[in-house]
Amino acid sequence: MKRKFLKYSLFLLIISFSLFSWAQNEPNDCVNAITVCSSDVFSSNASGIGNAQEINFCGGGESNSIWIKFTAIQSGNLGFDLIPTNPDIQIDYDFWVFGPNKTCGNLGNPIRCSTTNPEAAGATTNYTGMNSSSSATQQGPGAQGTGYVKWLTVTAGQTYYLAIDRPVGDSDFNINWIGTPNLFSPPPAISSVPDQHACETLGADQSSFDLSLINSIVSSTPSQVNITYHESASDALTAANPISITAPYLNTSNPQTLYIRVTDPATSCFSMTNFQLVVDASTTAQAQLTTAPICSGENYVITLQGTPGATVSYIVDTGNTQTIVLSSSGSAIVQGVANQSFVFHLVSSYIVGAGGVPLCQRNINQDVQVTIQLIPFVNISGTTQLCLNNQAPVTFTGTPDATVIYNINGGANQQIQLDANGLASLISPALTSDQIYSLVSIQTNGIPSCNVPAIGTATLAVIQNPTASISSLGPICAGSSSTLNFTGTPNGLVTYLDATSTAQNIQLDNAGVASVSTGVLLQASSFTLSNITVSGTPSCSQSLSGFTTVIVLTKPDGSIGITTPTVCQNDPSAEITFSGVAGISPFTFIYTLDGGAPQTLVSLSTTAQLSVPTQQVGAHVYQLLHIQSSGPVQCETDLSQSVTLTVLPSPTANISASSLTVCEQGPSPLITFTGLTGQSPFTFLYELNGQPQSIQTQAGLASIDLPVSTLNPGLYNFNLIRVTDGGVVGCSQNQSSIVAISVESLPSAHLTLSTPNVCANSTLAKVKVVVDSGTAPYTIVYTDPQNMVQTLVTSTISTELPVNTSIVGPQVFTLQSITSGNNLLCSSILSNAVTLNVTNGLQITVPPSLEICDDNNDGFSCDFQLSNLISSIIGTNSNWLVSFHETMTDAENGVNPIPLNGYCSINPWVQTIYILVKDPSLDCPALSSYQIIVHPQPIVAIPSVPYALCDDNTDGAVAFDLTGYGPTILDTLLPADYTVSYYLTEAEALAGTGALTGTNAYVSISKTIYVRVQNNLTGCFKVVPLALQVNPLPILPFPLASYNLCDYVTLGDNQEPFDLDGQSPLILNGQTGIAVSFYQTAFDAQGGDLSTSIPSPYTAGPVQTIHVRAQNTTTGCFRTSTMDIRVNPLPQLVPMTLPLTVCDSDQDGV
């Protein structure tokens, strides 16, 4: 639960108030209990017991107490954690809860209480409280319990009292409320109040305030709450001494803190805040110029000093009146930018009161002169052009005696001082590139030194020396001319040397270009530049060193040749070779065929191969007419050379067959190869189903026959590819003649079965005839399960046969023969058979219900191991498949199976699930319902405190009646239905082995054993730890030493008052936590009833034996002994009847 943290201290009254949310007065008594408002964290302390001791329950009482009252505004659960701010384990807080709806005069017994001492109980923290996990309604005293009790279940409108006491230690505490949120009434809303100011009207530091005006500030609904004002926090907390707001309130100090209490009259809840009354003295202010003088455009700063928080009005130059508020230190700054001198006028100062009304105003009328220095200026001149490596002047003019900052080409800043006339100049160095002199700033000398940016440039533009370059067109063929091209500075006059080293001049145009012819050249020639001059202002010139060489190329020569002058018709290997020499390759050849039109051929290098056509039989003449070289210039030469190519005719042939279709294993058909043109013998190249083959006729014969085998069915394709004749050259020619021989395979078929096993009347059994080979339509003969011969004619390769599954048992189908439906009527004898087994449904065994114990008694379990049931269900049928389902519909459809291991039940205690069993080879599954059962675990009382007994003979062990303790563990369970057993270890208790014997008087030292409670019917059990604690007896000697007194009080009566309580430290001899009491009889001492004890002091005598009881205040263990109290008579003095005489040894009389 998310909470705000609200702090409330009863004895250290708060210094600074925020919002508080509870009510009432000093809370040490019930009648002054604090009313808790809201479920926020509650913080406090506890001191004293108030006016009355109101608590004597659960072994505790009031030492340092605080009372809290709370009323539920809605029903729910209420608990809390009480957390001391000091974690010391010795800090001990107890509490008691009274109610519901009790009154302080009639509280009755508490409904919850805890007096556990955390240190004595061995706790790890000093926390206490109420929560949901504890089942006890009271804890303690001393070492007993954990400090926590069960939380309250409250109803709207019920009121409870909570008493909190701190018997040991000293620490504040916090209460964190837990359970249902917003159980308590909310506190009234309250707003913070700003400090209230007023001027001195009644003397120094004093004024009057109208507090009624604050009501609407502190609360948005002042008419619905009670608002009171107080001079102290304690008065506000207790609603004491409210300040009257019907008349103005006079402050008693300056500043003065007042406290406001806003109370909800319906719930008594209240909230508090505080504010200050501040009396302001008459205001004052003074202005001082911080920066003087300043430059135009700079920021001026005027500092104001005066009354802290005062508002000061002022006028800048002739502008409007402005105001500014002085800080808490009484200062403020007015600043701005000015371009000329002006007067700052301070008008007045005052305090702004409620509603914005000026208070404590004082007229000042102070003037401050602000002097502004005008900014300096500068100009720069000297922009010009100059030739490379020349100098030029730059001039600066501006404010006399000022310092000018400039840079060259954006480089580092440099400076120059203007003279009394505002002038300065410099000479540039010899320049090789443009220089730009740029102004940066100018600064005056003196106070103030004004520095402003400056803008302006002077550019010294360097004219680069003129230049030119020369180039030529080329290469050229020998006996032709080229062109010289000049480029450079526009309008320049270029001087150069020609191929004979003679000087020549040429003028460049406005674009800087010019050209001239070289004349006819027969060899490579060079042209060299000398210089260039450009006229103008300034006139610049430069020597040149460039040149160009014109390349002159030699003309080419060529030839034509042939390697095979005689070829067969359509021979692709016939080639003509063209060759070129001299010049640049590749070459372009121009030729004619049989005197026809000129044709062009380009070589890849110096030669070119021409594949010539051989389709036409006869002699063909190729003549070379012309050759041309490559390169940027194509040089050429005329030629006259020729070669002759003779083309011979090519042979032809065909292929034929005696029969195109035969049955497998029938007579072989013949393939005939025949040469039609050309000379014998003929060689035939052919392919048989893509595999190359060859066959040759005899000399003088034009044809030959080839038999075809029918041993293997299939299609045999004979493709005539090429024929070669027997002539001198051996001409050949590609052919395209195909003959296909089909060897029809004998038909074949087989039976298929969709499943070998089916249930009776199943529709899943499919028996089919599948044709493996043959030609449709097929005639199939078979015998059915009744051994009747049936004939089937079909054109499909798969045909379903009729099946009758109403007859249980094996059904045999057998094929007899199959005949193809083509003209050949090829036929085969068959013997293939299949057997279909028709059977009845599955038989399963359903095991007994699966029962397990619940681990948390919610009726559900995730520990169902359904896989353990499968072997019982299917028996020896290991191929059967088993699944479990939550609904019969899911089981019937075989969907949504539940996990076989670790299944979590969905219905409490008893749930029906459904079993689906399938045989993968059958289509008739088995279905059954099945129950899974969750048995509850025994609900026992888990011991929250040890089973403690007092040591009976100081040996550290005692006989525990574990059997008699059993009903405590069983709580509300019937003993007849459960078996309770005890074990030394938790592992033995969980396993149920090694149970302790003699449990009605089990002798043990302090230790933890384990109790197993098992349901006799279901076997479900619960194991809980049980701490056995042997508490030691106090040390008490028997008998005790006598307590002797002399008979002083009344001489001779042998009676004296014995301070028995004073003997306790002597009897205990340093033991702590032991209470000593005294009794007349041994019976009373054993009973320990303090009402029968002997009071102290006890008057007795002359001698009496009394009985002493020493009891541990925490464990209650005790011992008794006896002690004699005795009155001894005083000795009696006997009067002397004779003088006492002694001798004087030194005769001095003494």
- CATH level 2 (architecture), domain 850-936: Sandwich (2.60)
The answer to whether residue 24 scores a pLDDT higher than 80 is no
Q: Which amino acid is at 639?
A: L
Say how far apart CA 767 and CA 813 lie, in whole Å: 8
Q: What are the tens digits of pLDDT across the range 492-538?
A: 899 998 888 888 899 889 998 999 988 888 888 889 999 988 887 77
748-839 fold: Immunoglobulin-like (2.60.40)
- If 0-12 CB within 10 Å is exposed, 13-18 middle and 19+ buried, where does residue 1077 land? buried
CATH of 557-648, one of 1.10.8, 3.40.50, 2.60.40, 2.60.120: 2.60.40
The DSSP annotation for 754-784 comes to: S-SEEETT-S---EEEEEEE--SSEEEEEE-
Question: What's the pTM?
Answer: 0.33
Query: Within a 13 Å sphere around the CA of 387, how many CA atoms are in the beta-carbon half?
Result: 12
Torsion angle of the four alpha carbons 999, 1004, 1010, 1014, in this order, in degrees rounded to the nearest 10: 0
CATH class of 468-550: mainly beta
Say how far apart CA 330 and CA 324 lie, in whole Å: 11
Q: What are the tens digits of pLDDT across the range 947-963?
A: 999 988 888 899 899 99
Q: What are the tens digits of pLDDT across the range 104-143?
A: 989 999 999 999 999 999 999 999 999 999 999 999 898 9
Q: What are the tens digits of pLDDT across the range 663-690?
A: 888 888 999 999 888 888 999 999 999 9
The dotted CATH code for 285-373 is: 2.20.130.20
Mean pLDDT of 1031-1043: 91
Query: Which residue stretches of 111-246 are H helix?
Result: 215-218, 233-238
Say how far apart CA 669 and CA 15 lie, in whole Å: 129
Closest CA to 821 of 841, 796, 795: 795
If pLDDT is split at 50, 70 and 90, which confidence band does 808 have?
Answer: confident
Average pLDDT score over the chain? 87
Q: What are the tens digits of pLDDT across the range 318-350?
A: 889 999 999 989 899 998 888 888 898 998 888
Q: Which residues pair with 655 in a beta bridge?
A: 673
Torsion angle of the four alpha carbons 98, 104, 108, 109, in this order, in degrees rounded to the nearest 10: 40
Strands (E), 299-400: 299-306, 311-316, 321-325, 331-337, 342-352, 358-370, 372-373, 378-381, 384-387, 393-398
φ, ψ for residue 701, nearest 5 deg: -105, 145
The answer to whether residue 967 scores a pLDDT higher than 50 is yes
What per-residue confidence (pLDDT) applies to 10?
A: 29
If pLDDT is split at 50, 70 and 90, which confidence band does 48 have?
Answer: low
Residue with the bigger pLDDT between 436 and 205: it is: 436
Closest CA to 708 of 695, 717, 697: 717
The answer to whether residue 19 scores a pLDDT higher than 50 is no
Q: Do 578 and 563 form a contact (C-beta atoms < 8 A)? A: no
Closest CA to 515 of 534, 492, 487: 487
Sorted by sequence, the CB contacts under 8 Å of residue 181 that are 6+ apart come out as 1, 39
If pLDDT is split at 50, 70 and 90, which confidence band does 920 have?
Answer: confident
Q: How many residues does the chain have?
A: 1150
User: Which helix (H) or strand (E) covers residue 1112, if one does?
Assistant: strand 1103-1112
The dotted CATH code for 34-179 is: 2.60.120.380
Q: What are the tens digits of pLDDT across the range 1119-1140?
A: 999 999 999 988 766 666 666 6
Mean pLDDT of 3-17: 28
Query: For tokens 């359970």, what's the residue?
Result: 179
CATH class of 378-463: mainly beta
Closest CA to 609 of 595, 589, 631: 589
